[in-house]
Amino acid sequence: MKSILDFLVKSHVEKIKQPIFKLYSSQIEILQEPIDFYLQLHKGVKYSSKRILMSTLYFGTGNLEKYLVAQIDNSIKRNKKLKVGMLMDYMRGNRVNKRQESSRTLVENLKRDNLHNNNVKLAFYYNPSTNKILTLDSESGLREIFGVHHMKFYVFDDDIVLTGANLSEDYFVERQDRYFYIRNAPELANYLQDLFDVISNNSYQIHESGELVLFNNQPNPVKQTQKFIKVFKNQFKMFLYSNQIEPKTISFTDQNLKPQNSEETILNQENMDSKVTDSHETNQEDQQQQVEEEEEPEIIDITPDNYFQENKQISLELQEKKEKATQLLQNSFNEVEIHQIMRKLEDTLFYEDKRKSGELAELGGPVYFFPTIQLSAINHIQDEQFFLEFLDYIGSNEGYQLKFASGYMNFTDKIIQKIMNSKFQYQLDLLTAAPQANGFFEGGRVKKHIPFFYRYFEYNLLKLALKFNRKNIRINEYSRGQWTFHSKGLWLYENQVQNGESNYVSNPYPVFTAIGSSNYCNRSYQRDTELQFYIYSQCNKFSKELHIENERQFNYSQDVTEKKLSYKEYGLSLSVVAFAKFLRSFL
């Protein structure tokens, strides 16, 4: 059995020369709850000295968001060298509520009040595929169905939060997503800076006057659509070219690539070229330790046990305070109360962050990050191609189990074909939102029906599974009180070979995951901008944390079957089915 790492190197590095970022497990913290995400944003803002970058669909207009923006403003005023960049979707960011508030009105004073050194960039990406008639109505959400800026990443100096979450109070309190906090990763942060720059430079930006303008003689995406696409495409190609690596210089160590008694070394860690981005230089003592560990077939792990024990103790100490904070945030979004909560948690939470940022960041096993980008407006479909090749790979090799999550599950026909026609029937467990856990539940007009459109897509997938005799496909719906579900990504479990190719030992923890903005649907691949990170773990403890993350989310779900979904009470009326089919490419 070959390792998934074989596939990653061939498809991502050798084929398209895209970068790889090598980190260590102790640099990565998997956040579990929305409140953790919100607090991490505040910590990032508080301690940033060089840059703050925020790429999101939109900023909400509640008190939690206002408080966060106020802290960003304070940081700019305290540090004249701090550069702040925000990138949002033009349509969603300019949509106004009943109080005539929008993402734009929330953040525009950051530009007006901080004109020194031109250190604030507020950009709104305009999708050139948007219907030109609908652009005239600034209050219409219909403008967004043609495609939005959907990438989510948050950079604080050289620290990063990768997630699928936007910046509004639902995502801070009771909308479940996934969140990876990464410490001290300058190369990855610089890559995201470059990506931010190329998109924001091809976006509308808030001028010091408060108006939205295009800089540097950029073509107008509304009036000069084809010229805009051409210019944007050329600039994006330069971004890709500047981040390319030479595949012939890349090599890895993967202890799972060989059976226990094999003498074959498929890839050599010692010859890894500097082109593979490594956040830490390894001293001679560390190199000797790695060589010694390469003689054993186990997953690399050099993190001392007491490191995780101390983290656990800290987590237990913070849990009670975090629970109280969550209750307060849910019951009242008063700005004064939020400030008091943050002050109470500051000593413990921020002390923990300082404590982890020193020598402990050099410990742990390797974890490799492979970024993919989807920009269908300029025909850059890297993420779609990569994921289809990934499904081909695991479908043609034995020994895999795939767990997958999406709050809006609507697989493309190509993905469904790959799943149904795979040579080996790997176990596939799917997690999606129950209608009441869908963000559109009980919305107005058409929106209130959208959760049932997605349920129809579930039903249709299960019918196809029966038709193709794929008994190993299961769907679970997430339901947790008043919470909504927005998680997306995958967890791949790779069984280990022992005593011949047909004898497998089950690996209890995933060795591979994906986190980002894509829902792997028609909308993600044909309309929105998406950023995804595929992550390969060579650290057993990090893999265990991935497993815990996965279990926490599946624990709030119940399985559904084709038979169950056919019952009337599950909401699949004839009208729902008809509209779901008609609107599928927009969902």
The number of CA neighbours under 13 Å toward the Cβ of 497 is 17
Beta bridge partners of 124: 88, 204
Mean pLDDT of 446-458: 84
Q: Hunting for tokens 């492979």 — which residue is that?
A: 370
Q: Which residues of 110-135 are buried (b: 16+ CB within 10 A; e: fewer)?
A: bbeebeeeebbbbbbbbbbebeeeeb
pLDDT band at 320; cut points 50, 70, 90: low
- CA-to-CA distance for 191 and 341, rounded, in angstroms? 34
pLDDT band at 561; cut points 50, 70, 90: confident
Per-residue pLDDT tens for 229-270? 999 999 999 999 888 876 555 555 443 332 223 222 223 333
Instruction: Check whether 415 has a pLDDT greater than 90.
Output: yes
pLDDT band at 361; cut points 50, 70, 90: very low
Q: What is the pLDDT of residue 12?
A: 76
CATH number listed for the domain at residues 377-586: 3.30.870.10
Q: What is the pLDDT of residue 304?
A: 36
pLDDT band at 319; cut points 50, 70, 90: low
Instruction: Check whether 339 has a pLDDT greater than 70.
Output: no
- CA-to-CA distance for 163 and 192, rounded, in angstroms? 13
Are 280 and 21 in contact by the 8 Å Cβ rule? The answer is no
Residue 168 DSSP one-character state = S
pLDDT band at 342; cut points 50, 70, 90: low
- CA-to-CA distance for 462 and 420, rounded, in angstroms? 11
Q: What is the pLDDT of residue 425?
A: 86
Range among 42-46, 334-338, 441-445 rated most confident:
42-46
Q: What is the pLDDT of residue 138?
A: 55
Mean pLDDT of 526-538: 93
Rg of the chain over CA atoms, in angstroms? 24
pLDDT band at 314; cut points 50, 70, 90: very low
Conformation bin of residue 157: beta by default, left when phi > 0, alpha when psi is -120 to 50: left
* Cα 287 from chain centroid (whole Å): 32
Instruction: Check whether 507 has a pLDDT greater than 80.
Output: no
Q: Which residue has the higher pLDDT, 262 or 576?
A: 576
- CA-to-CA distance for 502 and 86, rounded, in angstroms? 52
Q: How far apart are the first and last CA of the chain?
A: 37
pLDDT band at 193; cut points 50, 70, 90: very high
Range among 342-356, 405-419, 428-442 rated most confident:
405-419
Instruction: Check whether 529 has a pLDDT greater than 90.
Output: yes
Mean pLDDT of 387-409: 93
Instruction: Check whether 370 has a pLDDT greater than 90.
Output: yes
Give the predicted TM-score (pTM) of the model. Answer: 0.82
How far, CA to CA in Å, does 478 sit from each of 149, 176, 443? 26, 10, 19
- CA-to-CA distance for 38 and 269, rounded, in angstroms? 38
Backbone φ, ψ for residue 5 (5° rounding) = -60, -35
3 state SS of 101? coil
Are 110 and 74 in contact by the 8 Å Cβ rule? The answer is no
Instruction: Output the DSSP codes for 250-310.
Output: -----GGGS-TT----SS-GGG--TTSEESS---HHHHHHHHHHHTS-SPP----HHHHHH
Number of H helices, E strands in the chain: 18, 24
Instruction: Check whether 141 has a pLDDT greater than 70.
Output: no
How far, CA to CA in Å, does 106 sit from each of 103, 192, 306? 5, 24, 44
The number of CA neighbours under 13 Å toward the Cβ of 63 is 11
* Cα 338 from chain centroid (whole Å): 27
The torsion of the CA quartet 113, 116, 118, 121, rounded to 10 degrees, works out to -30
Tallying the residues shown for the chain, one arrives at 587
Which is nearest to 203 in space by CA: 242, 153, 161, 148?
148
* Cα 438 from chain centroid (whole Å): 18
The angle at the Cα of 215, spanning 214 to 221, to the nearest 5 degrees, equals 35
Least confident of 87-96, 206-215, 441-450, 485-494: 441-450
Mean pLDDT of 177-197: 97
Q: Hunting for tokens 């690539």 — which residue is that?
A: 257
CB atoms within 10 A of CB 32: 17
Least confident of 206-210, 369-373, 411-415, 493-497: 493-497
- CA-to-CA distance for 468 and 81, rounded, in angstroms? 60
Q: What is the pLDDT of residue 297?
A: 33
Domain ranges of the chain: 377-586
Are 347 and 313 in contact by the 8 Å Cβ rule? The answer is no
Q: Which residues of 305-318 are buried (b: 16+ CB within 10 A; e: fewer)?
A: eeeeeebeebeeeb
Long-range contacts for 8-14 (Cβ within 8 Å, ≥24 apart)? Answer: 8/368, 8/370, 8/534, 8/536, 9/247, 9/250, 9/252, 9/267, 11/386, 11/389, 11/390, 11/393, 12/370, 12/372, 12/386, 12/534, 13/245, 13/247, 13/250, 14/247, 14/250
